[in-house]
Structures are given as C-alpha cells and as structure tokens.
Amino acid sequence: MRNFIAGTLAVLAAVSAGTAEAGYCGAASYRCCPQQCCQPTACYTTCRVERQTCYRTVYQTVCEPQQYTVNRTVYDTVQQDVQRTCYRTVSETHYREQQYTVQRPVVETTTREECYTVRRPVWQTNYRDCSYTVRRPVFNTIERECRRTVMRPVVQTFERECRHTVMRRVVQTVNQERCYTVCRPVTTYRTVRRDCGRWTTQRVFNPGPVVQRVVLDNCGCPRTCAVQCPGFYTCRRVWCPNIVTRQIPCTRMVRQVVRQQCPVQVCRMVPEVVVQKVPVRVCRMVPEEIVQKIPVRTCTWTCETITRKVPYRTCNYVCEQRTRQIPVTTCRTVCETRTCRVPYCVQKQVPYTVTQKVCKVVPRCEPVTCTRMVRRCVAKQVPYEVCRMVPVTVCPSGDCASPGCATGNCGISADAPQTYDTNKPTLEPEPEPEADPMAPELPGISA
C-alpha cells in the first residue's frame, strides 16, 4: 500500500511540472540537469579577424604645362581702295502652288542589355640586380728633360740707294663730237569696234506633258485617253548686240640721232726717274742650346664593379563582368502630302560701284607664348587592407564555484544566457553527478 501511494504522488508531481516537462515523465527536460553540465568545463581557443591598413609607394607619371616664348613672323595687310563699276542682276520673284508627296521617316529607339567581359590590367613593380664592371683610368705625371739647339735671329740695318722710273700724269682738254639716240612721242589714231549690247528677259511658253487619264465617253463608259496638261511660262536671258565704232589714240616712241660737241679731258703718262734711299735689314742665325723639362702623363686602368637596382613592371589581367545598354533604332516611312510654292523670277541688270581693297603684305616679328607638357614622375602612398586571424583563448566563468553547485543549484536559471570571462583563470572540471537509479533510460537523451 505504501508503494502505491508513493508512486501516485510521483505521477501527480510530474503532471504539475508543465507540458514541456510532461514528455517521457519529465526525463527529457533540460531543467532537471545541473548547471555545470551546460557550461564548458575547460578553456578553448578561437580565432578573431584583425584588419590592418598598410601603405605602398606607387610611381605615377604626370604632365605639367610649361610656357616658353618664340618669335613668330606676322604679316600685316595694308589695303588701298580702288573703285570700279559692276552690274548685278535684280530678280523679281513670283510663286505658284504645287502639291507633292513625300515619305517622312519615323525613327523609334529602344534599348537592349548586353553583358561583356573586360580584362583590367594590374601593375606590379619589382627590382632586379644589374651589376657591371667599369675600367677607371689612373693618371700619373712625370717630368722629362729635353735638350735642343735653336737658331736665334740677329738683325742688322743699313741703307742703299734705289733708282726707279715712275709715270707722271699730264691732263689736256680737247673737243669731241658725240652721237646719242633720243625717243620722241608720235600719236596716231585707230578705229575700234565694241559691242555695247545688253541682256533682256523673254518669256517662253512650255507645253505641258501628255498623260493617260480615265474619262467618260458619250455612253457613260470609262475609257483611257491621252490628255495634255496645261503649259507654263519660263524666263530666259537674251543678249541684244549694239556695235559702236570709236577712234582710240595710240602713242609710240620714234628713235632720232642727235650730234653734240663735248669737251673731253685726255690724260697721258710721262716717264720720270726717282732716286730713293731704302733701309735694308739683314738677318743672320746664331745657334743656341735650350734645355726644357716636358711633363709626361702615364695612364693605368683599374677595374671597378658597380651594383645597381633596376625596377621593372609586370602586368596581370583580371577579368571583370560588365553590363551595358545598347540602343536599337528602327525606322519606318510615313507618306505625307505637302504643298510648296514654286518661284520664277524676272531679272534685270543694275549698275553699282564697288570699292576694292588692294592688299599689300608687310612682315613683322612678334613674341608668342606657347605651352608644352613636361612629364614628371610623382610618388604617392596608396592604402590597402591586410586581414589576418589572431588566436584568442576563451575560459569559462567562475560563477558556479559556490558550494551550491554540488547540489545542482547555482542560482542561475537554465533559460538565462551564459557569459564567459576570457580574463579569468581556467577552472578545474567539477565531478559529474551520480545517476538516479529510479530514472528510466531513454534512447538519444544523456543523463
């Protein structure tokens, strides 16, 4: 009887625990587990992502404007006015209406999407070692004694008598007859015929074209016959000649011989003996020995190795997917009837005076400032990010180290979130609680 009453009370306690604990008689609920079973029992290591910003040097070539001055030859034009009479055609315009059919294009534009792949270049700068050997000259200077004999000049002066014959000039005046040719103007007249006509405008009738049309005969039946369209008038220019005779004077130059007596001066040369004393210098050479020290340079070559870093650039291509909109244009034709006015004109000649400019070019130099682009290499710092994984040790919190943990009650509910303190030392794992011998064993659920 006692065993029956104890079993009944245990069933009532399991039913009053709630619907979440009623399954499997309360054995599947996590509330019955101790708090130490749900917390980590030892420290563990995890990874944390750290981002670091670094900088690298990129060399870029830029162009800077530079101004310089040059001399340019500029030609100035000087103009002179010259008047002349011209004739222009004055037209009077009349209009007539005419209908015609045109086809007007109607353009419609749509777009379609197109995907394409491009290759973007990525440049990298590397350095390679270029060493080379040069030969450097080493110069030494020594002196060498040189003896030589030179001839030194000794000059002496004396006078000697010199006779020579000269031609003396004698001038006389005589009369001489001269003949020369002169040109005298002689005027004659000649007859010239000139056409002084003018342009006139005449109207010319043009018959209309013959077309095939459908007409009704006397019986009222349609038939096709040739019908001539009405004609039209056109204007054309006709030249009316007017011959005028004129006398034009012509002047020509006639050559004529003229004689004239002119005084002329005649010069003749008379021989004459002249005596002159001329100083004469005599030079004789005297031998003399000279000692001279001459510097002599000797050269020896020394090998020397020079190390140099040569930068070179490599290019890698990265594929990128891009999308663009392509316009598509379609065109269709629409017929329209339009009315236009056809002009025809009547022309006449009207005189007018025109002033022309006669140009004369005068050169001059003027300074001009020009701009050119000078290339320069500029270095700049470009940031980039580096990601790395940093190991972090996480240890469980020491809140359950109280004496109440031994009984399975730590003062923290099972639904509250668990917090871990990474700065506290690692706790020793607590002993697991003993299993209840009265609890039933269920598959898939640990004690």
pLDDT at 6 (0 to 100): 59
pLDDT at 3 (0 to 100): 58
Residue 417 domain flag: no
pLDDT at 39 (0 to 100): 59
What residues does 253 pair with on adjacent strands? 185
pLDDT at 11 (0 to 100): 55
CB contact at 8 A, 111 and 326:
yes
Residues (pLDDT < 50) of the chain are 15, 17-30, 399-447
Residue 31 domain flag: no
pLDDT at 413 (0 to 100): 38
Residue 192 domain flag: yes
- Cut 0.85: pTM above it: no
Residue 221 domain flag: yes
Residue 30 domain flag: no
Residue 368 domain flag: no
The domain tally of the chain equals 1
pLDDT at 44 (0 to 100): 79
Residue 376 domain flag: no
pLDDT at 327 (0 to 100): 86
Residue 404 domain flag: no
**Exposure string over 312-341, b if 16+ CB within 10 A, otherwise e:** eeeeeeeeeeeeeeeeeeeeeeeeeeeeee
Domain membership of residue 257 as a residue range: 169-281
pLDDT at 402 (0 to 100): 39
pLDDT at 148 (0 to 100): 84
Q: Indicate the Cα dihedral angle 37, 38, 43, 49, nearest 10°.
A: 160
pLDDT at 417 (0 to 100): 39
